[in-house]
Amino acid sequence: MTASATASADTLSYDELKAENEKLKSENAKLREQLVEYYETKEENQRLWEYYDIKKENPSLNLLPANVIKRDTNDDFYSFTLDCGSVSGVSVNDAVITENGLVGWVCEVDYTSCKVKTVLSPDTKVAAVDMATSDSGIVSGSVSLCDENRTRLMNISSSHKIKAGDIIVSSGTGGVYPKNLVIGEVKELKFNSYDTTTYAVVEPYEDIATITAAAVVIS
């Protein structure tokens, strides 16, 4: 076979090239979809492993993973709605956590959805304790701190030893929130001019305004 004949046999026509191009584009689109599904599954897998770790440390916890389906954009404290409800065993006052700690509590429940108020809301009251110093207090939100993704540890004793960097967890007293759920880290201590007490500014490890998935601790 001559060189020119060989070259002609190897060279594709315009139509063939075009068809191959379309086929490759279609395959590329399918692969992109698979890649997106892969990343979603990977993220969900990672999250579920972290919930499993939480469950291993606290075997008494019953966790129900859920996704955020609605966020109240006009709500001042970033509350959101999850896609699980009373049918799945969720009830009012159940704690809501992510892999980074406690983020809120269930305030309303429907059959297939539930509304969550976050730890940034003044309506939230969580009995908490400083892991380092064992000083106890109540975590409750503040209108002046909610925009900075911060909350407060109030009602702490005047002889407390709390300092910046301490980790705050739920104490379990009161029976509403399970024990040892991480709430956040102390950023600074401030003086409350209304009642002349000191409170600790606590920053949750989770960015409350951008939560996309969480788990309900079913009682």
Partner 1 sequence: MRNSRVVFYAAVGLQILILYVIQGTPNLFPEIFGSKPLFLLPLALSVAVFADETPSTIIGAVCGAFTDLGFSGSIGFFAISMTVASFLISYAFRNRLLQRFITAFLLSALVIAVVVCLYFLVFFVFKEIEDCGVYFVNHYISRIVITSLMFVPLWFLNGFLHRNLCD
Contact residues for partner 1, defined by CB under 8 A: 70-76, 81, 108, 115, 122-123, 142-144, 147, 192, 194
Short-list 167, 27, 45, CA closest to 102? 167
Comparing CB distances to partner 1, the nearer of 173 and 192 is 192
Compute the distance between CA of residue 113 and CA of residue 64 in angstroms, rounded to an integer: 12
Q: How far is the CB of 54 from partner 1 (least distance, A)?
A: 27
Q: How far is the CB of 88 from partner 1 (least distance, A)?
A: 18
Comparing CB distances to partner 1, the nearer of 157 and 192 is 192
Q: DSSP characters for 119-146?
A: TTSTT--EEEEETTT--EEEEE--TTTG
Comparing CB distances to partner 1, the nearer of 2 and 74 is 74
Q: How far is the CB of 134 from partner 1 (least distance, A)?
A: 26
Compute the distance between CA of residue 106 and CA of residue 92 in angstroms, rounded to an integer: 5
State which H helix or E strand residue 69 sits in: strand 62-71
Q: How far is the CB of 201 from partner 1 (least distance, A)?
A: 13
What is the 8-class DSSP label of residue 99?
A: T
Q: How far is the CB of 108 from partner 1 (least distance, A)?
A: 6
Comparing CB distances to partner 1, the nearer of 8 and 210 is 210
Instruction: Specify burial of residue 202 (Cβ count, 10 A radius: 0-12, 13-18, 19+).
Output: buried
Six-digit token string for 49: 């492993």
Comparing CB distances to partner 1, the nearer of 109 and 183 is 109
